[in-house]
Structure 1
Amino acid sequence: WPWKFISPVQGGLLVHRPSMEAFEEYMEIVREGNYTPGFTNEAGWAGLGYGGFLGGKAYQGIIPYFYDHFHPNTAVELDVCKWNQVAADVIWRGPRGQHHVGQCRKHPRGGDYENNIPRAVGEKSSTNNGCDDCRITPIDEIYTVHYTACKKPWGCPVARAGNKDKNKRNRIDTSLVHMPTCMKLHREWFQLRKEFEELVHSVKEPEKEIPQ
């Protein structure tokens, strides 16, 4: 549904300095189990809206609850088009006729729905509080990739050919991604693997002396 006020944290990447104190806090939250089922802004952890989405009871819900509620202003949100890049569509494309079509999926800052629109390629975020189209982010600007929407490169995925094979493995939903971007990301993975394998094979195992 459009613009749930609380957004989940994507479970593919979290940069966190190990802390037993933080770990114990998480454990206490889980043990308390103060979670309200439902999909409203009054559901989720402590009834504050941190839930009602995939992973709400687990990683995707408890992480934003931990930082927003207990440790505000201590976490930094990274650019999802460059870190943990999924390369999936972040813009509402339907249902047709709805006022939110064409706007960003994230909740607009300050309730500014009018300007919650995709930024043009190269446009600075300061000029538009909307979102970037991660499907067309230049490869050389990406730091890490999460192979979900584009599927795993080692599975040799191909574009989905209609609904008849939508449940088959290794079929890419072209309505969700930009196929040329997925192919480039796959190529990068194979290139990195090739370089790694060559490095491994170039390291010679030290010669061992045979006992007399």
Structure 2
Amino acid sequence: MNIRSRRGTKPSQSRRSLVVLLQCFILTTLAILAVGYYLFYKSSPGNTVLTEGFRHGNIRVSGIAGSVRRHHANDSGGTYDSKATIGYAITVSGCPKDDGSRGDFGAGITDGAAVLKHSIHMNSIRNAESGSKYDYKMYALVHPEAEHCARPTLEPLGYEVLVRNVPVRLQDIRGDYLREKVPKNGCCGEKEFVKLHAYTLVDHPAIVHLDLDTLVLKPMDNLFNVMIDGPPPDGSNGGIEVAFGDPLVSSHPGGSNEINAFFTRDYNMAHRGMQHVGVQGGFLVLRPSLIAFAEFSSIIRKGDFRSNGGWGGLGFGPFYGSMTFQGIIPYFYDHLHPGTGVELNHCVYNNMADNPRDKPTKNDVVSGSCRDGYNRPDKNDQCEDCRSRPIEDVVTTHFTLCQKPWECLAQDGDRIQERLCRKFHAEWYRIRENLETTTLGQKQVDLTNQNEVEQERGGKYQPQHFRGYCKSSGKKGYIAMKVPSSTS
């Protein structure tokens, strides 16, 4: 019997039934394979999975994220059993010019990246003395125009280089004002949006995005614990210093207890009458989510940034960098998803040794109104001076006002800002020395013996402070690291 229907005629009922049965069989088989693979992966020894979620309206999207690394050797020769692996990301949007004045800070793209990574290493579970329970993995989000300088530099340092373009092409931004103005906004124009690709690193339960001129001084376990396990059930802040001493969990109507971001604000850019203060772009702890990344892309594509009202015309701008990262992040967490982002105390996290008031400090005497009180009248005369914070309290620092460590600036004047900056720079050089002597094969030296320091390392300028890595004051006096072809 010929079961094939002739051209122009309808297929027989038996053929339709056979097709339906075949389709059901294929779909059922695929479903069984998918479930089987998931159960196998979940039960595999040495792998623990954490669910990744992000609330988008009434929708919650979950997936497998953050596989835990187990039984790896630490610096002491023992093994460690980490709670999770945290992703740390930097962004390289451009290569330094010949004079090193732009791009990613000249020596910062090499030495800055190396020392930053080692500071993370020293404050992870791989260093038993840190007390941290978390492992780490390093990423570099690199704009295509910067690949030629970033890849050969960062891969030997142990960064996984991910070449990523802007989430939305400039010509695809529908808002005329944003499309025309964003290329000259902030430090890097629309290339600053490359940072948003940190949200796509969903293999980790949390991502820390840092600028190259930052340094980690203490573990951030408290932040990761809250992001992974949720806020403490007793209502405490879980050891986290929140800005203004506010509670960790927002009381915003309709909000949830799930925290998806930690950030600090840049009060140096604040002015009276500003409705919303931008985030400081060098520090962001985030919960990765493809849904969040898609929403950021949609916001950029729509391009609703107004000349006098910023994003959505709601006061998220204009200010420095407001068209890009510094403005879109607070718009996302303060307006679109209120209660899911937490502002941290910027004296503890991302400390920049900045003057908290709007008038100069003379002879260590502060004056003027509190910049962080412009939007908080109840705190207007109670701002903490981050320059007086003991360095032992600081979790991360950011070399903005202090200037870059690789510029060999002594910062040894007896002023409140210089005293803290000098301590921050000393930590950077201490960590560089630890990297070179424990990993790169450099000899230990007696820092009180100037001749030995100069002979072994080449620099005699304030050797107990710069540890032999500066020949003189200024960036021309800096002695760059010699990084081998492969450093894990």
Q: So what's the TM-score if we normalise by structure 2?
A: 0.32
Which of residues 31, 41, 52 in structure 1 aligns to 2:301? 31
Choose between structure 1 and 2 for higher RCO, CA contacts under 8 A separated by at least 6 residues.
Answer: 1
Q: Give the CA deviation at 1:134.
A: 0.9
Q: Give the CA deviation at 1:136.
A: 1.6
Q: How does 1:15-164 map to 2 (within 5 A)?
A: 15-38=285-308, 43-93=309-359, 102-108=368-374, 111-112=377-378, 115-117=379-381, 130-158=382-410
Partner of 2:234: none
Q: Which runs of 4+ in 1 moved over 2 A?
A: 107-112
Q: Give the CA deviation at 1:157.
A: 2.1
Partner of 1:195: 434
Question: Relative to 1, partners in 2 of residues 1:110 and 1:91: Cα closer, same or farther, differing over 3 Å?
Answer: closer
Partner Cα separation in structure 2 for residue 180 and residue 3 of structure 1: 33
Partner Cα separation in structure 1 for residue 304 and residue 419 of structure 2: 45
Q: Which stretches in structure 2 are left out of the alignment for 5+ residues? A: 1-270, 361-366, 442-488
* Contact 2:275–2:375 (Cα < 8 Å) also in 1: no
Partner of 2:198: none
Partner Cα separation in structure 2 for residue 189 and residue 111 of structure 1: 37
Partner Cα separation in structure 1 for residue 341 and residue 330 of structure 2: 9
Counterpart code for 1:191: R
Partner Cα separation in structure 1 for residue 410 and residue 430 of structure 2: 19
* Contact 2:304–2:312 (Cα < 8 Å) also in 1: yes
Question: Relative to 1, partners in 2 of residues 1:51 and 1:109: Cα closer, same or farther, differing over 3 Å?
Answer: closer
Partner of 2:425: 186
Q: Give the CA deviation at 1:2.
A: 2.2
How many pairs were matched up?
Answer: 165
SS of alignment partner, residue 103 of structure 1? strand
* Contact 1:92–1:105 (Cα < 8 Å) also in 2: yes
Partner of 1:127: none
Deviations 1:86-109 (CA, angstroms, capped at 9, x unpaired): 111111117xxxxxx622102456
Q: Give the CA deviation at 1:153.
A: 1.0
* Contact 1:4–1:107 (Cα < 8 Å) also in 2: no
SS of alignment partner, residue 191 of structure 1? helix
SS of alignment partner, residue 438 of structure 2? helix
Q: Give the CA deviation at 1:64.
A: 0.3
Partner of 1:122: none
Partner of 2:281: 11
Partner Cα separation in structure 2 for residue 109 and residue 33 of structure 1: 26
Counterpart code for 1:147: F
- Which is helix-richer, 1 or 2? 2
Counterpart code for 2:398: H
SS of alignment partner, residue 93 of structure 1? strand
SS of alignment partner, residue 76 of structure 1? strand
Partner Cα separation in structure 1 for residue 375 and residue 302 of structure 2: 31
Q: So what's the TM-score if we normalise by structure 1?
A: 0.71
- Which is strand-richer, 1 or 2? 2
User: Once superposed, what is the RMSD of the aligned Cα atoms?
Assistant: 2.3
Partner Cα separation in structure 2 for residue 8 and residue 62 of structure 1: 8
Partner Cα separation in structure 2 for residue 192 and residue 26 of structure 1: 36
Partner Cα separation in structure 2 for residue 36 and residue 4 of structure 1: 15
Partner Cα separation in structure 2 for residue 156 and residue 110 of structure 1: 38
Question: Relative to 1, partners in 2 of residues 1:92 and 1:190: Cα closer, same or farther, differing over 3 Å?
Answer: same
Partner Cα separation in structure 2 for residue 80 and residue 110 of structure 1: 16
SS of alignment partner, residue 145 of structure 1? strand
Partner Cα separation in structure 1 for residue 321 and residue 386 of structure 2: 22
Counterpart code for 1:55: G
SS of alignment partner, residue 280 of structure 2? coil
Identity over the aligned pairs, expressed in percent?
Answer: 41
Partner of 1:210: none
SS of alignment partner, residue 334 of structure 2? helix
Partner Cα separation in structure 1 for residue 335 and residue 323 of structure 2: 16
* Contact 1:89–1:133 (Cα < 8 Å) also in 2: yes
Partner of 2:83: none
SS of alignment partner, residue 423 of structure 2? helix
Partner Cα separation in structure 1 for residue 346 and residue 280 of structure 2: 9
* Contact 2:351–2:398 (Cα < 8 Å) also in 1: yes
Partner Cα separation in structure 1 for residue 400 and residue 425 of structure 2: 12
Q: Give the CA deviation at 1:57.
A: 0.3
